[in-house]
Structure 1
Amino acid sequence: MKDKRYSAVRSLIKANEIKQFADIFDILPITVVSKDTGTNYNTLYRRVHNPNLLTMDNLLALATAFEIDIMELMPVIVKSLKAKKSGGSKTK
């Protein structure tokens, strides 16, 4: 059974409420997403905190897991990339 937090993330993305890519993982743990997408935990962790490392395969897997179109995920990624470039990202 799919984690119910996916529907919360999907709703927030569709409502343009997610400001940074990493904010998704405040709601839905990286461990859950890594298992569901088949992405190694450490790899996904690095890519969450450095979205410039995301591949098209990663984006497709994430969009599929969130049950959204990849084009709905792209604005979140772009905002994160712009914030990171300007030094305004929330990295841990």
Structure 2
Amino acid sequence: MKDKRYKAVKSLILANEIARFADIFEVLPVSVMAKDTGINYSTLHRKIYNPKQLNLNDFDLMGKAMEIDYLELVKLAHKAMTKGK
């Protein structure tokens, strides 16, 4: 059975209520995403707070887990990367 928090995160993303990529993981624990995507917990945790390290496969796996287009996740990560510039 899929974690119910995925649906909440998907709704928040589509409603533009999530401002930063890392905010996803205030609702959905990193451990749940790591388990469901097969990405090592430590690796995923590091990449969440440094989105430049995420690759398209990571976005694709997370998008499939959330049942959302991975490009929505790319947009959030891009905002995080360009915010300080």
Residue in 2 that maps onto 1:38: 38
Query: Which residues of structure 1 form unaligned runs of 5+?
Result: 88-92
Greater than 3 Å deviation, 4+ residue runs: none
Cα distance in 1 between the residues matched to 2:81 and 2:60: 18
Question: 1:37 Cα shift?
Answer: 0.3
Residue in 2 that maps onto 1:55: 55
Report percent identity of matched pairs.
49
Question: 1:74 Cα shift?
Answer: 2.0
- Range 11-20 or range 71-80, more displaced: 71-80
Cα distance in 1 between the residues matched to 2:63 and 2:39: 13
Cα distance in 2 between the residues matched to 1:77 and 1:49: 10
Question: 1:25 Cα shift?
Answer: 0.3
Query: Which residues of structure 2 form unaligned runs of 5+?
Result: none
Cα distance in 1 between the residues matched to 2:49 and 2:72: 19
Cα shift readout 1:1-51 (whole Å, capped 9, x = no counterpart)? 000000000001111111111100000000000000000000000000100
Q: Normalization by structure 1: what TM-score?
A: 0.88
Indicate yes or no: 2:68 matched with 1:68.
Answer: yes
Report the RMSD for the aligned CA atoms in angstroms.
1.0
Cα distance in 2 between the residues matched to 1:39 and 1:71: 19
Alignment partner of 1:18: what SS?
Answer: coil
Residue in 1 that maps onto 2:21: 21
Q: Normalization by structure 2: what TM-score?
A: 0.95
Cα distance in 2 between the residues matched to 1:72 and 1:21: 10
Cα distance in 1 between the residues matched to 2:16 and 2:32: 22
Between the two proteins, the alignment pairs up a number of residues equal to 85
